[in-house]
Amino acid sequence: MAWPDLRVEIQPGGVWTDITADTFTRRQQVTITRGRADEAARTDRARCQLGLNNKDGKYSPRNPMSPYYGLIGRNTPLRVSVAGSTPRLVLDDSMSGTVDTPDAAPLDIVGDLDLRAEVEVDWNAPGFNQVLIGKWDGASAQRSYALRIYQGRIWLNWSVDGSAPITMSASVPVPTLPDRAAVRATLDVDNGSGGWTVTIYWARSIAGPWTQIGSVTGAGVTSIYSSTVPLRVGSPDASTAPPRTPFAGSGYRFEVRNGIDGTVVAAPDFTTLTPGTSTFVDAVGHTWTLQGTAEISDRLIRFAGEVSSWPSRWGVAGQDVWVPLEASGILRRLGQGAKALDSTLRRRIPTDPNLLAYWPMEEDRDATQAYSPIAGVAPMAVSGVEFASDDSLLGSAALPKVGAATALSGQVPRGPDGAWRVEYVYKLSDYPTTPAMLAEVRTTGTYSRIQLEIRPDNLRIYGVSSSGDSSSTTQLFTIGPTGNFTGNWNRLQLWATQSGGSTTFGIHWVTIGGIGLGLDTTLSGITAGHVTAVSCAPGTAIDQRDLSMGHLSVFSAQLSGVYDFADHGFTAETAGARMLRLSQEEGVPVTLVGAGGDTLGMGPQRPDTLLDLLGQAADTDGGILGEQRDRLALRYRVRTGLYSQPPALELDYRGPGLAPPLDPEDDDASVRNDITISRIGGSSARAVLEEGPLSVQSPPNGVGVYDESVSLSLANDDQAEPIAWWRLWLGTQDEIRYPSVHVDLTKAPQLADAAAAVVEGDCITIANPPPWLPPEMIDLIAQGYTETFLPHRWDITFNCTPARPWNVGHVNDPQVGRVATDGTQLAAGVDADDTTLVLAVDGTLWTTDPADCPLDVRVGGEIMTVAQITGAVQDRFDRTVTGGWGAADTGETWTLTGGATSDYSVQGA
């Protein structure tokens, strides 16, 4: 097929099958839609619409004559790709592919080391221990060095002796990186100060320039073991926990250097290979072989989704029979009939492998028993309980209140003898006036009953032997009084563990979201046994006191951490961490683009659908939640990852590629000048623009009130105000909008790779706008796009919003690390042929440090670059600027002169 070499594939029976020849473009072009219309909207599901020739009934799922009979149907995978200009190594999600070269003397580096890798990966993939390149085999104790990505960090590993006891590592957090980036790790085995130093860098390509991310220093001079195993791109190691696997994604170039910036001893460059290559020789003579599922490909995946239906259509005379397909991204399936996720405690507690019994007690008000989600555990018998009466515990749905007539009893399946733990949450309004039994645990140990009694001035725990008389009761603990036991939600943890002929009993209170208190005691000649039942019957002593409780669990081990953080609904968890945790819990892959640690802290996770919970996280942080383009997965681009980006696609109004229409909109569609942000369950903050052209003042001094009120899941009330001001900033940009940018790649195929790489949140620039528009560079952010394919034609129309509000200051950054002066304006009018601009300054003076140049200035919407500042005389200086609208056209150089509260002039050179 001619350019753009479109390929459409489906996966019947698990095998990718090319069906491009049946794509029915005479009736229907191939159209792909992704992303959202603007910043105010949530991302819609990605869609791919195309037609298939079905004259032979091949694409009728219920046609027994079809070769795909029984193999296609609801949610059959479909993908669309085009040929790109740059080949690359592709390692799929099976993580079973590598590229190897045999051991050779130059690879046996024992001193300083320099590893580099240019890849496209999920930098924050939860749970995956992805190796980029390494000479490492733990099973045979042949470890040398490895560069890997794990838990949002970049790691360098090396071994002194090849075995685990002397394996060294250093890591730094992954910063906000592009999907495709290069990382580098150097090891200085002797840093001159009696230790070693690892330094981690990143760059946009392996050619640099490199930006340091961080460094780690350790004590003692080190060295690297000379192993005999191959050097591998994607080196796995099943002997570690979790296992190290080849990375999933694309590899472009890799380097191993002997010494920091030293001799290149290995340099596999996959961008120079022919697609389908299985073996090759790198620039320094090593022979590399692809293994497993590794492949060399130049295909650019434009869509990956699922076909939910296969409708047949035909013309009146039957001359055309086709199937108008619409495949969708993962958002469609996740949004179909989705139910609310359970509370965080209800979800987390059953994940403990030592759990024997569990009763959440989150029943509705009319329930007559407490259900257990654990197979083989009978419901808890209850009476005198007011279910669904207290919803104040952040990690739970509403829990019951317990009164004087309450009786709870649950039977526990048999567990192993020797260790057990009982835990539950409770809230008691105040100490009772007489002793009340809060809980009783029945066991097969020496103490057949462990009783927890709350008294007017303390809490006591008793062990009662099977005889039951007063001499058989042992007081194990007395605690109190303390205010933490009442008026708060607490967790009670009661446990026992036996060692030989002695048993240690322990009691621990944790004030949820606060501190804990614990005691333990070891008794000789006492057995622990196992738990057989748990109960609660406080009696009349609890009358006139409010007692709520729930999430009662029994474990066959002393230790369990499943209540931790889940009890308060993971309050203060960052938006990025919440997305990754939900991804793991629900088995729905989410790619986090950017540094998850830079996202905002959230409020408690309450029961809701998965998509709504993920949407809450995106709304709180202010980034973009969407879909991966090349696989069925979600993708979240963090807010800080949108700041001050270099352009992903650079267009020129006077060059090829940009196609009509380019329609500016100078309207009020995105104006918001009065913003109220409310914390869900908390306080609010308001930000109002009082002055200026887009202020709340009536015209002509402003535009009137454009208000907005948003409720967000926030960790604390203090977050609301800065978010309100940030949203006000976004909503009061006085500039032209360009809602859509049309790129005709048929007329500019040289732009195809750059245009195809643009994803939601990337920056697009348009240089040299026509004279009837403002002369400055048009700077936009792509929020989504629609692309269409016909034979010999490929168009992309991007949905865009202004990028200027996202160009924020960064300390020490050479481009956006400067602060503008105050009160600078033109003191006299100018026209096109003037060579002098007269300026007046009333405020901060201009810098006179040559090190601060070059720098850009904006004069009346025109960008000029200051190349030199010269001749400071009193409060006056000269500065040379180039690149203004006039200078760009005439090649002139301009010199600015001036002084404080007097004239500044720009003189033509």
Asked if 718 and 694 sit in the same domain, the reply is yes
Question: What pLDDT is recorded for position 470?
Answer: 53
Residues 6+ apart with CB under 8 A from 385: 400, 401, 402, 403, 406, 408
Average pLDDT of span 67-85: 94
Could you read off the pLDDT of 849-859 as tens digits, one per residue?
777 777 777 77
Asked if 122 and 67 sit in the same domain, the reply is no
Asked if 240 and 376 sit in the same domain, the reply is no
Q: Give which of 801, 667, 782, 804 is closest to 729, Cα–Cα.
A: 804
Q: How far apart are the first and last CA of the chain?
A: 55
Q: State which H helix or E strand residue 255 sits in.
A: strand 249-258
Proportion of the chain above pLDDT 90, given as a percent? 72
Asked if 355 and 496 sit in the same domain, the reply is yes
Average pLDDT of span 55-62: 92
Average pLDDT of span 196-218: 96
Average pLDDT of span 112-131: 93
**Band of pLDDT at residue 434, cut at 50, 70 and 90:** confident
Asked if 717 and 857 sit in the same domain, the reply is no
For residue 685, CA distances in Å to 574, 674, 682 come to: 21, 11, 10
Q: In total, how many domains does the chain have?
A: 6
Q: Which of 707, 732, 757 is the last residue of a domain?
A: 732
Question: What pLDDT is recorded for position 413?
Answer: 96
Amino acid at 107: L
Q: Determine the Cα–Cα distance for residues 193 and 191; give it in Å rounded to an integer.
A: 6
For residue 553, CA distances in Å to 535, 657, 742 come to: 12, 64, 59
Question: What pLDDT is recorded for position 901?
Answer: 37
Question: What pLDDT is recorded for position 886?
Answer: 37
Q: Which residues make beta-bridge pairs with 50? A: 325
Asked if 721 and 849 sit in the same domain, the reply is no
Asked if 70 and 134 sit in the same domain, the reply is no
Say if residue 107's pLDDT is above 50.
Answer: yes
Asked if 630 and 563 sit in the same domain, the reply is no
Q: What is the CA radius of gyration of the chain?
A: 33
Cα 271 to chain centroid, rounded: 29
Asked if 412 and 496 sit in the same domain, the reply is yes
Average pLDDT of span 440-446: 95
Average pLDDT of span 210-216: 96
Question: What pLDDT is recorded for position 845?
Answer: 67
Backbone phi, psi, residue 167, to 5° = -95, 130
DSSP state of 618: H
In a domain, 645, yes or no: no
Say if residue 900's pLDDT is above 70.
Answer: no
Question: What pLDDT is recorded for position 165?
Answer: 79
In a domain, 366, yes or no: yes
Domain of 833 in residue numbering reads as: 824-908
Q: State which H helix or E strand residue 522 sits in.
A: strand 516-524
Q: Determine the Cα–Cα distance for residues 257 and 423; give it in Å rounded to an integer.
A: 55
> Does the bond joining 664 to the residue before it have cis omega, within 30 degrees of 0?
no
Average pLDDT of span 426-445: 90
In a domain, 432, yes or no: yes
In a domain, 372, yes or no: yes
Given a contact cutoff of 8 angstroms between Cβ atoms, the answer to whether 549 and 361 are in contact is yes
Q: Determine the Cα–Cα distance for residues 388 and 672; give it in Å rounded to an integer.
A: 41
Q: Which of 732, 750, 774 is the last residue of a domain?
A: 732
Amino acid at 642: L
Given a contact cutoff of 8 angstroms between Cβ atoms, the answer to whether 517 and 447 are in contact is no
In a domain, 652, yes or no: no
Could you read off the pLDDT of 398-431 as tens digits, one per residue?
999 998 888 999 999 999 999 999 999 999 988 8
476: left (phi over 0), alpha (psi -120 to 50) or beta: alpha
For residue 806, CA distances in Å to 617, 730, 827 come to: 20, 8, 30
Mean pLDDT of the chain: 89
Asked if 354 and 478 sit in the same domain, the reply is yes
Q: How many other β-carbons are positioned within 10 Å of the β-carbon of residue 810? A: 12
In a domain, 644, yes or no: no
Question: What pLDDT is recorded for position 597?
Answer: 87
In a domain, 516, yes or no: yes
Q: Which of 681, 710, 732 is the last residue of a domain?
A: 732
Asked if 502 and 395 sit in the same domain, the reply is yes
Could you read off the pLDDT of 799-828 as tens digits, one per residue?
999 999 999 887 766 666 677 766 677 667
Could you read off the pLDDT of 157-175 as tens digits, one per residue?
999 999 987 889 999 999 9
Least confident of 106-115, 391-400, 533-542: 533-542
Average pLDDT of span 728-753: 94
Asked if 688 and 623 sit in the same domain, the reply is no
Q: Which residues make beta-bridge pairs with 777? A: none
**Band of pLDDT at residue 860, cut at 50, 70 and 90:** low
Average pLDDT of span 374-390: 95
Sheet holding 707-712, edge to edge: 684-688, 674-679, 707-712
Comparing 834 with 588, the larger pLDDT belongs to 588
**Band of pLDDT at residue 715, cut at 50, 70 and 90:** very high
Least confident of 498-507, 538-547, 641-650, 857-866: 857-866
In a domain, 739, yes or no: no
Question: What pLDDT is recorded for position 838?
Answer: 65
> What is the CATH number for 432?
2.60.120.200
Task: Give the HSE-up count for residue 79: Cα atoms under 13 Å, Cβ half-sphere.
Answer: 18
